[in-house]
Amino acid sequence: MKKKSAGDRESQQPTWTRREVLIAGAALVGVASCGSNTPPASGHAPQELLTRTASVPSPTPTSVPDTPVTLAFTGDVMIGRTVNSHMLSTAPGDPYPFTYTAEFLRGFDLTTGNLECVISRLGQPVPKSYNFRGDARAYDRLLNAGFDLVSVANNHSGDYGKAAFVDEWLTLPRRGITPIGGGQNKQQAHTPVVKTVRGTTIAFLAYDEIDPYSFAATDTTPGHAWLDATDLRLDVTRARASADFVIAFVHWGIEYFTGLTAEQRSLAQVAIDAGADLVVGAHPHVIEPYEYYKGKPIIYSLGNFVFDNMYPEVVRRGNILTLTIQRQRLLAWKLVPTRIGDWGEPAFT
């Protein structure tokens, strides 16, 4: 299993996964156990053995070999409205709203979702139809459910203004989760988040093209990365130069429309032409089709993951995208179906 990383959001240092930490820990326990129960063959007393051992030079560290890396993506995670109210009614440490999915999501080296709300006490609701805000205990629920990264590039991350957005964006890394698709200015919002796991370097970019446009970052104000073809092409090209595998996570499309638009297809092709290896989308609240372009998969919408508007039935349905990669190669991928039950909580079908 993977180990959470709360360090520099653009660090290219190798990321230790939970699985590697557990294996390493087991090995250390085994060494300690053998050392304490096995007498030295020479008959030396323990202190003599310690002295002799301390004089032996430490072995030179070896690089971690390239092995496959597993990733997971979920659609919209909305921890507001009745989801937030029910979370507040549960005991500290309760896994809700991930009771049935946390163990699965924790099994991946890196798990990413679209955080369809703002987690902050700051600010006031901006004038719009729906404003989603979650309590701070949502940070631990997300972390314990296995989320390593969340996209803040959506039409609800600015629901309580710029100060609340920055508060969430700064707090997420301190709570062990890396935000993507946002920043304190446009340059930061459009800079890829890079993670290196066992020799594979992965660049994550995230974008929103759903109004209000005022949520987008500018050269001098915070916000999310706005999706347009020119910036998308430039960002992906830059990411391609330093990463083995480039992923664009986009918030786009038409709500409750199970097809796809010509604009979605065009923007996805721009990303892949510029060097993206995968395009995955959210926002429509329903599952949309997938297709290949130049051999690269485009998953137009994963649908809802955590959401409290569960009618009609189609909005209860979502997919978790799972994939296995190694350097520049996509070894396998699949869509794992979920269905939202009581209180907006997903379970496997």
Domain span holding position 97: 69-348
pLDDT digit string, tens, across residues 67-106: 999 999 999 999 999 999 999 999 999 999 999 999 999 9
What are 44's strand-pairing partners?
A: none
Same domain, 199 and 260: yes
Please report whether residue 140 resides in a domain: yes
Q: pLDDT band for 2, please (50, 70, 90 cuts).
A: low
- Which range among 23-27, 190-194, 249-253 shows the weakest confidence by mean pLDDT? 23-27
Q: What is the Cα 161 distance to its own chain's centre?
A: 23
Task: Give the Cα separation of 259 and 214 in Å (integer).
Answer: 27
Q: Does 128 share its domain with 34?
A: no
Q: Is residue 3 part of a domain?
A: no
Are 132 and 174 in the same domain?
Answer: yes
Give the tens place of pLDDT for each residue, 144-192.
Answer: 999 999 999 999 999 999 999 999 999 999 999 999 999 999 999 999 9
Q: What is the pLDDT of residue 64?
A: 60
Quick one: 166 and 194 in the same domain? yes
Q: Which of 209, 77, 216, 90 is nearest to 146 (CA)?
A: 77
Q: Is 182 within a domain?
A: yes
Which of 158, 163, 154, 82 shows the shortest CA–CA distance to 116?
154
Mean pLDDT of 328-337: 98
Do residues 45 and 99 both lie within one domain? Answer: no
**Cβ–Cβ under 8 Å, residues 85 and 218:** no
pLDDT digits (tens, 9 = 90+) for 297-323: 999 999 999 999 888 999 999 999 999
Based on the fold, state whether residues 33 and 98 are members of the same structural domain.
no
* pLDDT bracket for residue 63 (50, 70, 90): low
Dihedral-angle region of residue 143 (phi above 0 means left; psi in -120 to 50 means alpha; beta otherwise):
alpha
34 and 153, same domain (yes or no):
no
In DSSP terms, 224 is beta-bridged to 182, 216
Residues 250 and 117 in one domain: yes
Smallest CA-to-CA distance from 290 within 333, 331, 344 is with: 333
Is residue 61 assigned to a domain?
no
Domain-embedded: residue 9: no
CB 158 within 8 A of CB 126: yes
Q: Residue 235 pLDDT > 50, yes or no? A: yes
Q: Are residues 44 and 134 in the same domain?
A: no
Query: Distance between CA atoms of 281 and 302, rounded to whole angstroms?
Result: 6
Domain assignment present for 78: yes
Which residues does residue 208 pair with via DSSP β-bridges, in sequence order? 226, 251
Indicate the number of domains in the chain.
2
CATH of the domain at 152: 3.60.21.10
Confidence of residue 220 (pLDDT cuts 50, 70, 90): very high
Task: Give the gyration radius of the chain's Cα atoms.
Answer: 22
The pLDDT value recorded for residue 88 is 98
User: How much is the pLDDT for 309?
Assistant: 86
Q: Does a structural domain hold residue 231? A: yes
- Shared domain for 27 and 157, answered yes or no, is no
pLDDT at 113: 98
Model confidence at 335, pLDDT cuts 50, 70, 90, reads very high
Name the token pair of 89: 């009614």
Domain-embedded: residue 12: no
Do both 31 and 128 map to the same domain?
A: no
Residues 47 and 77 in one domain: no
Does 6 score more than 70 pLDDT? no
